[in-house]
Chains A and B, each alone.
Chain A
């Protein structure tokens, strides 16, 4: 079975500060990992995905994530937070061979203070 754990349901940072959102995964097969962002009353938008190519993945809006197999982690970072980054962030994992259904974590709400 696959699962993801997002540590910290709420993260607050000041504008311009480093953003770090944590995600640890559990998977019996090589995982495919994703970060999605959700703005209020909207669907999910893909930020980035890990598909076993490069371990450091760059996404949209300046976000990146590093796949660390030894730590079973896929943390999301951004060097400098903007007010517009305030949203809910979800880490997700999928198998690739039978189905691409996504298994999501419980989410982390990012607040950005001026």
Chain B
């Protein structure tokens, strides 16, 4: 157990429905990442937050996807109008980084993931 939790662990939904996932990072960690992992592939970066600010979004993150981290603690990832191609494992990772422009090379701690199946 890394200390990063994700809820739910599994989600089955029908095409066209909306889904929301939650990630609770390690409490003092200021950076939070979302990745997507499809079968047989490595995780792909989706987006990340520094505290409550969303600083980067991948081109993989279509306008049906939205992520928030309202108080700089937990984060949610919502997918609207799900498609079968959205079926994947969604991984969250948290990290404690330096401030003031210092190089941050510390470990990202991954949660167990949420497996989404769109039928």
Is the C-beta of A25 less than 8 angstroms from some C-beta in chain B?
no
Query: Of A42, A44, A46, which is in contact with the most chain B CB atoms at under 10 Å from its CB?
Result: A44
Q: Helix, strand, loop or mixed for chain A's interface?
A: loop
Q: Assuming A90-B43, A104-B44, is B107 touching A46 (CB within 8 A)?
A: yes
Query: Count of A-B contacts with CB under 8 A?
Result: 62
A contact residues around B48 at 8 Å (CB): 99, 101
Is the C-beta of A102 less than 8 angstroms from some C-beta in chain B?
yes
Q: Assuming A43-B4, A43-B113, is B56 touching A99 (CB within 8 A)?
A: yes
A contact residues around B31 at 8 Å (CB): 100
Bitwise interface map of A from 71 to 114 toward B, beta carbon under 8 Å scored 1, else 0: 00000000000000000001010001101111111110000000
Flag if A100 contacts B105 (CB, 8 Å). yes
Give the Cβ gap from A7 to chain B, nearest Cβ, in Å. 14
Interface size class of B (residues with CB under 8 A): 20 to 34
Flag if B41 contacts A103 (CB, 8 Å). no
Nearest residue in A to B56 (C-beta to C-beta)? A99
- Indicate which residue in A45, A51, A107 contacts B105 across the interface (CB closer than 8 Å): A51
Task: Give the contacts of B70-119 with A (CB-CB under 8 A).
Answer: 91, 93, 95, 97, 103-105, 107-108, 110-113, 115
Is the C-beta of B2 less than 8 angstroms from some C-beta in chain A?
yes
Q: Give me 29 A-to-B residue pairs in the complex whose CB atoms sit less than 8 angstroms apart, sorted by A's number.
A: A36-B110, A41-B115, A43-B2, A43-B4, A43-B91, A43-B93, A43-B110, A43-B111, A43-B112, A43-B113, A44-B110, A45-B110, A49-B105, A90-B43, A92-B42, A96-B104, A96-B105, A99-B48, A99-B55, A100-B108, A101-B48, A102-B33, A102-B35, A102-B45, A102-B108, A104-B42, A105-B42, A106-B42, A107-B40
Which residues of B does A touch, CB under 8 Å?
2, 4, 31, 33, 35, 40-45, 48, 55-56, 91, 93, 95, 97, 103-105, 107-108, 110-113, 115
